[in-house]
Chain A
Amino acid sequence: MSLFGNKFATSIRVKWYPNYWDTIALLLVLAVISLFAWVAKQMATPYQLGQTIPISLNPAVLPFYAGRTVVRMLIALFFSLLFTFIFGTWAAKSRYAERIIIPAIDILQAVPILGFLSVTIASFIRLFPGSLLGPECAAVFAIFTSQAWNMAFVFFQTVRAIPADLSETGHMFHLSAWQRFWRIEVPYAIPGLLWNTMASMSAGWFFVVAAEAITVSNQDILLPGIGSFIAVAIKAANLQAIGYAVLTMFIVILIYDQLLFRPLVAWAEKFKPEQQATEKTAESWVMNLFRRTRLMRNWGDKLAQLFDAFVNIKFFRPSQSIIFAKPFFKKDSDIVVTILWEIGILGLGIAAFIFVWHFVASHISFTEIRWVLVLGLITTARVFILILICSFIWVPLGIWIGLRPQVAQVAQAIAQILSAFPANLLYPFIVMVIVYYHLNPNIWLSPLMILGAQWYILFNIIAGASLIPNELLRVVDNLGVVGWARWRRLLLPSIFPYYVTGAIAAAGGAWNASIVAEVASWGNEKLVATGLGAYIAQYTSVGNFARIALGIGMMCLLVLIINRLIWRPLYVYAENRFVIGVSDV
């Protein structure tokens, strides 16, 4: 269930300072972002968009818009899987690839997703001039960036963690690399991959809604979808339309959950080696239906046969020789390859540095960079204060709920749905209130950032509290430990690892949301808070690409530093110290 669990649990003693490969990867990522920005800058504005499809505010077309949004999600999911299989596997199989892919993924996870959108959309439009396909691709790409890194990383880790005897089984029976991939590696990774996909899909709704309606270089781009519907409704200050959209979204998410993910989770049960005592078997009425009807079963058999044929495609079959050559003998030429590789990467890193430096330095003064840093710190402060406030609310409540199994079951399901719900759909309601009462946007826009992300904290705490072993609760009762001592000695320590997991996810969500949350509008009113998110958003809408790149780079750096200095050590500490049931050896 933990979104970031695998990512942080890799080593016991963490290094917080960046190593050589981190630095190179960071430079490469920044360079790619700058490159996109540079390309965008070179392109003539305004873009030649085809005929814009007018967005109607008629509720009858909402299902159609919802369908478009869902299709975007699915396409992005497909590409994320493709990316995962290619790069995750590559990193797991080649130590050269691993050293650059893994730090790069780590850094890419810190890049704000809407930032990607700001710099890539121009390139996509250029790719398909005169049609909506460009923005369409950009939207899909934004969703892709919200899940691909995470999924690839988990896949890499699980493939690496395949027990030696299973991979030896593959070798011993002479399975080809293709057969091993589909028979051993992919199945082994499925449970972890699925949980991660679900978690990132939740975030995906947020970004798809944000990506459908975006202003780049003073040009409004509206893709048919729920996001655009909301954007148009906001402009028209049409509260009723917004209400319809929110309702539609709820229904879509419910259907998605029931028809796609529940069945998948139930199906994935069989990939878990052993049932853990604490976990319940996942059930899904759809899956049960599927398994119990004959027609469906026949389809299932057909599918299984197709998959079987796919795994055993002749082309990928191994050699039939007695001794299966597995290139495990390291040759001396390896050293040459290694040296060449290292030189190449170093060269690339230097080139990236020069490019980034040039791009930023030639456009922006040092004072401005300092100012952006200050903006970044302001947003950082917002994120932390919000997490703190949310913690004070949700920790006691979450524990209370978690200790009551019947309540917990319902509440957890609700919290999970809420966390998937794109919070940006709810912004207008709050913005309306701020506009009406003339509240200070610097303070009152802030809660928008955490609106969607807070649920991560809640459902992790519920999960943690419901897993506190009964004997421990009885022991504490038996010893007469009540009140604050009970909280301090039992309840808080036992949910701590879950809290950290939730807080990390919530902080990540808040950072990402800052780009849409620090600037808000209602009708003709426009509210702007001071912060890095607003900086990026504003320069996106006027199309100043050097400044967008600077803003994104700064946010990426801040997130990285905070992850390394605060979240990761905290996570490792929690894992080592407070996880119940793992004997500490």
Chain B
Amino acid sequence: MSDPIIEVMTIQKYYKTGDKQDRLVLHDINFKMYEGEIVAVLGKSGSGKSTLLRIISGLTEPTSGDVYYRGQLVTGPVRGISMVFQTFALLPWLTVLQNVELGLEAQGLSRNERRHQALKVIDMIGLDGFETALPKELSGGMRQRVGFARALVVKPDILMMDEPFSALDVLTADTLKSDLLDLWQSRMIGINAILFVTHSIEEAIAFADRIILFDSDPGSIRSDVKISLPFPRSDLDPRFRNQVDRIYTLMTTEPQETRIQEGMIDIGYRLPDVSIEEMTGLLEILNSPEHHGRMDLPILADTLMHNLDELFPLTDLVQILRFAKISEGDISITQAGKVFVEADILERKKIFSMHLTKHIPLARYIHNQLTRHPRHRALEEHFLSLLEDYLSEKEAENVLRTVIEWGRYAELFAYDYNSGVLSLESGH
């Protein structure tokens, strides 16, 4: 095989959390990318896949390790890598044409030359007629087309995409995907490789030659899966469905998963941001007569119209609380889960409260602290600073907010928004 275009060597990335301890977001990442490849990076949210993309393109620095682009050490943004963003990242004050011209401006091309090249790409990507429109006049799909045109006009060597379709509705995303694939296969755009981040298993399989599966906490490469289905790929093809099942199974046997299943989570575990209603809803579907308490994960995702980012936090929570179990890509309700969904509201609260203190160390810790305190009160800052030893400031806030919501539902503790004081529910 020829020389790699991108070579990532033992990348580590820490984020500063508070002042005591840094949080590891990327751990020992190694991989290579070759010419002509489409590579998908697939993982749960918060697994650091977007950070990896930014490190490779030179937008963020790694804490340690090196990235080489065509043999050159990357120390800053690389000319030759273009990125398409999930949020489009169009400059709202520039017209479509001006947005597309942006990269050319940086290259110092003359006004006429810029216009000429930009119009060519705008034509190719199906945006003609919209040259003078402002981004806010466009629909999401059209905006992302501008995002693509802007990235392509500088004739990049590698195209990077950070969840490019996840902000679009299904139909729009499908159209855009097939247009992009057509462009790629017709070699009209002169790109030599595509690297993209996604949390949709189907999307990864539909597009990629290789899927890099990401573990979370810390983000690391779990496995590198070759997809050799012929194009065009149809998600109705049984071989396609097989691959989907395979990836689901791989993802649910991550070491992280085992830890969850064995109840090994610690106090600083990044609790999934899931509401009680969502969790109850999931258990009710599982427990409904047509499913007999057991479902295939891809089917569950379809039923809930969820992608990985939304599905996995839910399945994590029901597993942590021992209301359901996952094995080999199937989820099944436990006895406790059955009792929980079949109970009435008050009974549910009692069961939930029991499971919460038993299986979630943070909830248990808060409850213990409050019980011990002479007036059964504590400031939220106290727990926040504890969490910040493990998590970033924002994540710590999210986790605390989540656990407070659960605790209030379980009537384990009360919370006053204005003063930020947690206290024991009377009666406990």
Q: Measuring CB to CB, which residues of chain A are less than 8 angstroms from any residue of chain B?
A: 13, 163, 165-166, 168-169, 171-176, 179, 183-184, 187, 190, 270-275, 305, 308, 311-312, 314, 317-318, 320-326, 328-329, 573, 576-577, 584-585
Cβ-defined contact, B91 with A172, below 8 A:
no
The yes or no answer to B231 lying at the interface (CB within 8 A) is no
The answer, yes or no, to whether B78 is at the interface (CB within 8 Å) is yes
B69 interface residue (CB < 8 Å to A)? yes
The 8 Å CB contact of B108, one of A163, A270, A317, A325, is A317
Instruction: For residue B116, give the distance in angstroms from its CB to the closest CB of chain A.
Output: 15
Q: Please tell me if the beta carbons of A163 and B87 are within 8 angstroms of each other in the complex.
A: yes
Minimum Cβ distance to chain B for residue A55 (Å): 45
Interface of B is mostly: loop
**Residues of B80-100 whose CB lies within 8 A of A:** 80-83, 85-87, 89, 91-94
Residues on A with C-beta less than 8 A from B79 are 174, 320-324
14 CB contacts below 8 A, A to B, read A168-B89, A172-B57, A173-B106, A183-B91, A184-B91, A271-B93, A272-B92, A311-B105, A323-B77, A324-B79, A325-B75, A326-B76, A328-B76, A576-B418
Once the chains are docked, how many angstroms separate the CA of A207 from the CA of B93? 34
The answer to the question of B43 belonging to the interface, with a C-beta cut-off of 8 Å to chain A, is no
Question: Would you call B54 and A273 a contact (CB within 8 A)?
Answer: no
| Residues of B that sit less than 8 Å from A by CB | 54, 57-61, 69, 72-83, 85-87, 89, 91-94, 102-103, 105-108, 111, 134, 136, 154, 401, 417-418, 420
Closest to A184 in B: B91
Tell me the bound Cα distance from A172 to B106 in angstroms.
Answer: 10
**Could you say which residues of chain A place their CB within 8 Å of the CB of B102?**
169, 173, 175, 183
Contact B75 A322 (CB under 8 A): no
- Count A/B pairs, Cβ under 8 Å: 111
Q: Is the CB of A172 within 8 A of B82?
A: yes
Contacting pair B92 A174 (CB below 8 A): no
Report the bound CA distance from A573 to B418 in whole Å: 8
- The listed residue with most B CB atoms (<10 A of its CB), out of A320, A321, A322, A585, is A322
Q: With the chains together, A255 CA to B192 CA distance in Å? A: 59
Considering the complex, give the chain A residue whose CB is closest to the CB of B104: A173
B117: shortest Cβ distance to chain A, in Å? 14
Is there contact, CB below 8 Å, between A166 and B74?
no
Q: How far is the CB of A191 from chain B (nearest CB, A)?
A: 10
Find A325's partner among B72, B76, B111 (CB 8 Å cutoff).
B76
What are the residues of chain A within 8 A of B76 when measuring CB–CB? 171, 323-326, 328
**What is the bound-complex CA distance between A275 and B134, given in angstroms?**
12
The listed residue (B60, B78, B91) touching A322 by CB distance below 8 A is B78
A184 cross-chain contacts in B, Cβ below 8 A? 91
Partner of A173, one of B154, B417, B420: B154
> Separation in Å of the B145 CB from the closest CB of chain A?
16
In whole angstroms, what is the CA distance A273 to B87 when docked? Answer: 12
Q: Is the CB of A273 within 8 A of B92?
A: yes
Known interface pairs A166-B91, A173-B154; A322-B72 also in contact (CB < 8 Å): yes
B91 touches A326 (CB 8 A): no
Name the contact of A324 in the complex, choosing from B73, B78, B105 (C-beta under 8 A): B78
Q: Cβ of B57: which chain A residues have Cβ within 8 Å of it?
A: 172
Residues of B near A577 (CB, < 8 A) are 418
Give which listed residue, A172, A187, A308, A322, contacts B93 with CB less than 8 A: A187
Contact A179 B91 (CB under 8 A): no
Contact A169 B91 (CB under 8 A): yes
The answer on a CB contact under 8 Å between A165 and B78 is no
Bound-complex Cα distance A584 to B59 (A): 33
**CB nearest neighbor in B for A327:** B76
Given known contacts A173-B103, A325-B75, A314 and B61 CB-to-CB distance under 8 angstroms? no
CA distance A179 to B98 in the complex (A): 13
Q: Whole-angstrom distance between the alpha carbons of A577 and B419 in the complex?
A: 12
Interface contacts beyond A165-B86, A323-B74, A324-B76: sample of 13 additional A-B pairs, CB < 8 Å, sorted by A: A166-B91, A168-B59, A169-B85, A173-B154, A183-B91, A270-B92, A273-B136, A274-B136, A323-B58, A323-B78, A326-B75, A584-B417, A585-B401
Q: Which residues of B are found within 8 Å of A328, using beta-carbon distances?
A: 60-61, 76
- A585 neighbours in B (Cβ, 8 Å): 401
Is B89 touching A175 in the complex (CB atoms < 8 A)?
no
